């Protein structure tokens, strides 16, 4: 290989690293906005009710680089008061006296889903550590609501806000990552 060709390849490698660092920084900014968006849509969904706060506190946005966990943005660390009670579980019934549930209301609930009776934030941490993206992308960004009942709440109540957060993610991606609009 000629000296000129080697010099060109070294310059390209250096330029590539600068581009990757810039893309990674943009991904991090994007993840910060995504976690806020996910929380906002859950908290403003019509008819939503937070009995314990675990669904909200489980929201996490994860950044993976070459399928390896790089960083996570936990809703529980940023915007919210901690969950007030452990996750409710089937077949028990729960009664929260005045101002006792997460939303500060008197409430009753009989869950349909069996849970580990743990905490939403712990679900978020476990998800980030254990999830492995399937693709071979340089960066993967994942928004997760990992409590056992998040899918049930979205399917039966439509109040998780995941569809709105997904829509926001597409719009924000064009800004933060400077993606072409289709």
The pTM score is 0.85
Query: Strand runs (DSSP E) across 18-117, as ranges?
Result: 60-65, 68-74, 94-96, 107-109
pLDDT class of 179 with cuts at 50, 70, 90: low
Instruction: Return phi, psi of residue 82, to 5°.
Output: -60, 160
The string of pLDDT tens digits covering residues 121-172 is 999 999 999 999 998 899 999 999 999 999 999 888 888 877 677 676 666 6
- pLDDT the model gives residue 10: 72
Contact 53/84 with Cβ under 8 angstroms? yes
Contact 33, 174 (CB under 8 A): no
* Average pLDDT over the chain, rounded to an integer: 87
pLDDT at 175 over 70: no
pLDDT band at 19 (very low <50, low <70, confident <90, very high): confident
* Interatomic CA distance for residues 84 and 54, integer angstroms: 8
What is the rounded average pLDDT of the residues 73-92? 92
DSSP H helices, the chain, are 3-44, 54-58, 75-78, 120-130, 150-157, 162-176
Section 3-7 average pLDDT: 73
């Amino acid at each position: 290989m000629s000296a000129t060709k080697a010099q060109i390849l070294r310059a390209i490698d250096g330029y590539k690293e600068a581009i990757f660092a810039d893309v990674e920084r943009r991904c991090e900014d994007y993840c910060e906005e995504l976690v806020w968006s996910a929380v906002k849509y859950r908290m403003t969904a019509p008819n939503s009710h937070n009995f314990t706060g675990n669904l909200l506190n489980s929201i996490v946005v994860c950044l993976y680089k070459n399928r390896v966990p790089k960083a996570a943005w936990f809703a529980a660390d940023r915007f919210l008061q901690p969950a007030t009670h452990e996750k409710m579980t089937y077949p028990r019934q729960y009664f929260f006296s005045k101002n006792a549930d997460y939303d500060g209301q008197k409430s009753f609930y009989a869950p349909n889903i069996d849970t580990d009776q743990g905490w939403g934030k712990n679900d978020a941490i476990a998800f980030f550590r254990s999830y492995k993206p399937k693709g071979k992308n340089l960066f993967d960004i994942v928004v997760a609501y990992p409590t056992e009942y998040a899918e049930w709440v979205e399917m039966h109540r439509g109040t998780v806000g995941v569809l709105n957060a997904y829509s926001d993610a597409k719009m924000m991606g064009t800004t933060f990552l400077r993606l072409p609009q289709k």
